[in-house]
């Protein structure tokens, strides 16, 4: 959707930002996903994605500037989002 809609759809942008403001782990994953989409295979910037990340997204995510992403917290978040995650990745139930 990011590439197809060219990040020109205001509703898509609002949806992404609202999801990121709601969950630190989601914001972290979105940032790295969009960052990977911000350059093509020849390291040329894809301007619309690059501009979205650097003009507003990072500013809005500043609320997380003092947050840390620990492996344990991330794993718990993944299990909450996808109960099958623990089974797929052979994670012990001792995490709870």
Residue 27: other Cβ atoms inside 10 A: 22
Per the CB < 8 A criterion, the answer to whether 20 and 30 are in contact is yes
Q: Give the tens place of pLDDT for each residue, 69-80.
A: 666 766 676 677
Residues 16-24 have a mean pLDDT of 88
Q: Are 2 and 37 in contact (CB under 8 A)?
A: yes
Q: What is the mean pLDDT of the chain?
A: 75
Which residue(s) pair with 39 in the sheet?
Answer: 45
pLDDT at position 4, please?
A: 64
Asked if pLDDT for residue 86 goes beyond 70, the answer is: no
The pTM assigned to this predicted structure is 0.61
């Amino acid at each position: 959707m990011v590439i197809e809609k060219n990040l020109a759809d205001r509703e898509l942008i609002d949806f992404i930002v609202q999801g990121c403001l709601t969950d630190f782990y989601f914001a972290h994953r979105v940032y790295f996903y969009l960052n990977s989409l911000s350059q093509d295979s020849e390291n040329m910037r894809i301007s619309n994605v690059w501009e979205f990340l650097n003009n507003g997204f990072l500013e809005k995510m500043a609320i997380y500037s003092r947050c840390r992403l620990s492996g344990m917290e991330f794993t718990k978040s993944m299990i909450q989002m996808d109960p099958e995650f623990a089974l797929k990745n052979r994670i012990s139930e001792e995490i709870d």
